[in-house]
Structure 1
Amino acid sequence: MLNIKYLLNNKEEIIKKLETRNFDISVLNTIFDLGEKRSKIMTELQQLESQRNEKSALIGKLVREKKDVSKIKEEMSELKNIIEKLSNTNQEINVKIEELLSAVPNLPLDSTPIGKDENDNVIVEVKSEIGRGLVKALKPHYEIGLDLDILDFSRAVKMSGSRFAIFKNEGAKLVRALISFMLDTHTENGYNELITPTLVSSKMMYGTGQLPKFTEDIYKLENNDLWLIPTAEVTLTNYNNDEILDLKEAKKYVGYTKCYRSESGSGGRDTKGLIRSHEFHKVELVKITNSEQALEEFSKTINDAASILEKLEIPYQKVLLSTGDIGFGSRQTYDLELWLPSEQRFREVSSISYFGDFQARRAQIRYRNENNKVEYAHTINGSGIAIDRVFAAIIEQYQNEDGSIDVPKVLIPYMNGLTKISKK
């Protein structure tokens, strides 16, 4: 959430930046109007409070002098009523401002490229020579998985409907290997591992910006204030909800969870296979840091996520997203896109975002700076990485002509020494 004081004092800058995000700035004008109205009411309230204090002092003086105070008491009563009405109006305005602010996206960094959509994103780096390079797939992953009996889509559909999958046999083992490999890699890099709930309250969803903006994309339990998380960003960030932290060094969290998304805006895309599922596996990285170290930690997080693709020897590219494509709470986002041979293109497998203090304001995550003054923390998060998509890439990238799949070298110890997945 944006700082309302900063917003009201920097109107032109705010409008200019949010216009680059395809945001309807008429909402801002309503907030500005309400802010000015609130400012006038606050000034009036201060004046009325001053009058009330003066009259109260005068009543005391007259009482000591044994003089009549009935008229002044009537004036005091009128003042009290006026102050109460104005205070109620002021509170109503505050609630309305808060409601409107909750739907206003974050301000992009100046270094975020200006653009309308994903077509204006900037490819920063391409790692095309890793492993086998930009190979062509003999078959797509969903056919390979059926041939090798490591994926089952039809029974998943029977159980849950479309866009679900069952991993089986060596496929299940490969998912487990990826989870352990990623968690081990990140904990070796200083992240603290958490196993968190996948059901959280509305307060937690609000804290990281999923609510109220993305209600249609999230699954809610009927008759309960509980939501299925779309990403462990929600739980790892809110681990420190409403706390004041020591942030001389960044808090670094990693966690594996299943994640759930309705994909309401996907428009029927990627209905085959594992690319866009309602339920999927993901390892998530979150950092909570002070303002001075935030951008440095952001850069390190990008490298931490990319290291997984490097170790798996999967070609990828790093993309800097434009203002028209970054997420609601983000100030800047880098996507890591792996090579998907069956589609002959790169597909996103991790988005790493820097939020500034946007999430921390909503989640009330604070710290004391070097002057012992309480400030809002800065947050960073990114996939470390999305397991279903990397699973798909592995079985396509490592497929052999005989239909078998070589296990990436780094995963062999996690597969109990298995080096190849073949037909039974």
Structure 2
Amino acid sequence: MIDPQLLRENPDAVRRSQRARGDSVELVDAALQADSERRSAITEFEALRAEQNQFSKTVAAAPKDEKRELVAKAQELAARVKEANQRASDAEAEFSRVVGSISNPIIDGVPAGGEDDFLTLKTVGEPAAFNFEARDHVELGELLGAIDITRGTKVSGSRFYFLTGIGARLEIALMNMALNTALDEGFTPLITPTLVRPEVMAGTGFLGEHSDEVYYLPADDLYLTGTSEVALAGFHADEIIDPAEGTRYAGWSTCYRREAGSAGKDNRGILRVHQFNKLEMFSYVLPENAEAEHERLLALQERMLQACELSYRVIDVAAGDLGTSAARKFDIEAWVPTQGRYRELTSTSNCTTFQARRLDIRYRTDSGKTAPVATLNGTLATTRWIVAILETHQQADGSVRVPEALRPYLGGLEVMEPVR
């Protein structure tokens, strides 16, 4: 939920954000109207309740012969208070419904527009070039005995796969290198639940316009998570925490995505699949420290990409391509040689106080009051990285050179050799 104070004091900022995202600007006026009606209903209820409390004292102090008439009036007043309370509750629910439909206001500087309107912030490294015909990651995976898509499809259907042999070892190596990177930076490791309650899924903003991407188990009223961000955000729901120096977690989990609406896109290989593993960073910080924390998460992601010796670019994602909760998102896209273009490997989002307001995660201010914290997330390693690693470091005979930083996690292996 957005900050109601921002809505009242600077509705034009919210309108600009909605316009930049391509979302409804009219929602802002509807939210302002609902807020006005909510506050009016609350004022009416509180005035009647105060009148009721005062009248109760009058009844208590009245002579016995006058009390019957006064009690009747008290009952009438109690009915009016009950009606006013219901109106206030209804107005509160309507305000929550309307304002809950407004996406997190973007941070100044986020480019407006859609998927193709991003801003490239930097490009690092030279795209791989070969003096032989490059193989794609599927062919390389088959040669190395690393990826088996045929059997994955046989067992589970399209967009499923087996990582086998060196493929399984490579993913575990990546995840462990990412975990050690996070540990070095003070993150607490968590292995998170992958099934969550509706209120947690909704609280993180994943049940809006992209809810068709989420697997739902109606018999249990639980959702399968597409990222451990969901469980990590829910970890401190309804709590008061101390994020003065930052509270940081690294969540390791399997992730599930329906990939609805992606028919025909990236059908080949493991770029766009229904199930994968991921190590996700998640930070709770003071709101004034959120932008600095965002840069910190981005730097850690770049460190991982560089350790894997990949060429990449960092983009500032356009407002219309942001999720509901993100006020700004940086994507890192690695060069995939056989596709001749950059593909997203990782992203990091600054969700400001949006998720914390929905999940009631607060900190105590110097004045003793409570206020919502800021939350941020960023992927540090995921299955998709195997695509770029195999294709970037391939050799003419179908072998693949192991990036030096990954070798200790593969028992010192320097080259992944074909097995067929």
Shared fold (TM-score, shorter chain, > 0.5): yes
2:383 is paired with a residue whose SS is helix
Query: Which of 142, 148, 153 is the matching residue for 1:152?
Result: 148
Map residues 351-370 of structure 1 onto 2, 5 A cutoff.
351-370=347-366
Amino acid across the alignment from 2:33: D
Structure 1 residue 55: Cα displacement = 2.7
Identity %: 30
Where does residue 135 of structure 1 map in the other structure? 129
Structure 2 distance, partners of 1:50, 1:96, is: 25
Where does residue 328 of structure 1 map in the other structure? 324
2:240 is paired with a residue whose SS is strand
Query: Which of 394, 402, 405 is the matching residue for 1:399?
Result: 394
Amino acid across the alignment from 1:107: P
Q: Is the 8 A contact 2:45 2:88 kept in 1?
A: no
2:346 is paired with a residue whose SS is strand
User: TM-score, with normalisation over the residues of structure 2?
Assistant: 0.94
Structure 2 distance, partners of 1:356, 1:317, is: 24
Structure 2 distance, partners of 1:372, 1:5, is: 19
Structure 1 residue 67: Cα displacement = 4.8
Map residues 228-377 of structure 1 onto 2, 5 A cutoff.
228-377=224-373
Structure 1 residue 289: Cα displacement = 0.7
Q: Is the 8 A contact 1:139 1:396 kept in 2?
A: yes
Structure 1 distance, partners of 2:357, 2:275, is: 29
Structure 2 distance, partners of 1:236, 1:53, is: 45
Structure 2 distance, partners of 1:134, 1:373, is: 55
Where does residue 174 of structure 2 map in the other structure? 178
1:119 is paired with a residue whose SS is coil
Structure 1 residue 21: Cα displacement = 1.2
1:162 is paired with a residue whose SS is coil
Where does residue 35 of structure 2 map in the other structure? 35
Structure 2 distance, partners of 1:405, 1:50, is: 77
Amino acid across the alignment from 1:52: Q
Map residues 150-229 of structure 1 onto 2, 5 A cutoff.
150-229=146-225
Compare 228-237 and 90-99 and name the one that shifted more.
90-99
2:284 is paired with a residue whose SS is strand
Structure 1 residue 75: Cα displacement = 2.4
Amino acid across the alignment from 2:97: E
Query: Which of 75, 99, 106 is the matching residue for 1:77?
Result: 75
1:253 is paired with a residue whose SS is strand
Where does residue 8 of structure 2 map in the other structure? 8
Structure 1 residue 268: Cα displacement = 2.5
Amino acid across the alignment from 1:134: A
Compare 352-361 and 192-201 and name the one that shifted more.
192-201
Amino acid across the alignment from 1:38: R
Gaps of 5+ in 2: none
Q: Is the 8 A contact 2:252 2:280 kept in 1?
A: yes
Report the number of matched residues. 417
Structure 2 distance, partners of 1:95, 1:108, is: 25
Structure 1 residue 213: Cα displacement = 4.4
Structure 1 residue 316: Cα displacement = 0.5
Gaps of 5+ in 1: none
Structure 1 distance, partners of 2:393, 2:145, is: 16
Structure 1 distance, partners of 2:66, 2:290, is: 65
Structure 1 residue 293: Cα displacement = 2.0
Structure 1 distance, partners of 2:45, 2:233, is: 38
Structure 1 residue 235: Cα displacement = 1.5
Structure 1 distance, partners of 2:290, 2:167, is: 38
Structure 1 residue 11: Cα displacement = 2.6
Q: Is the 8 A contact 2:334 2:344 kept in 1?
A: yes
Structure 1 distance, partners of 2:102, 2:264, is: 28
Compare 140-149 and 366-375 and name the one that shifted more.
366-375
Q: Is the 8 A contact 1:125 1:318 kept in 2?
A: yes
Query: Which of 94, 99, 102 is the matching residue for 1:101?
Result: 99
Structure 2 distance, partners of 1:268, 1:92, is: 45
Structure 2 distance, partners of 1:54, 1:228, is: 53
Amino acid across the alignment from 2:49: E
Compare 143-152 and 396-405 and name the one that shifted more.
143-152
Where does residue 44 of structure 2 map in the other structure? 44
Structure 2 distance, partners of 1:135, 1:361, is: 48
Where does residue 410 of structure 2 map in the other structure? 415
Q: Is the 8 A contact 1:355 1:379 kept in 2?
A: yes
Compare 310-319 and 412-421 and name the one that shifted more.
412-421
Structure 1 distance, partners of 2:210, 2:253, is: 20
Structure 1 distance, partners of 2:311, 2:69, is: 84
1:48 is paired with a residue whose SS is helix
Q: Is the 8 A contact 2:41 2:91 kept in 1?
A: no
Q: Is the 8 A contact 1:102 1:212 kept in 2?
A: no
Provide, for residues 136-176 of structure 1, a one-character-per-residue CA deviation record: whole Å limited to 9, x for no partner: 56111111111222111011001110001111111111111
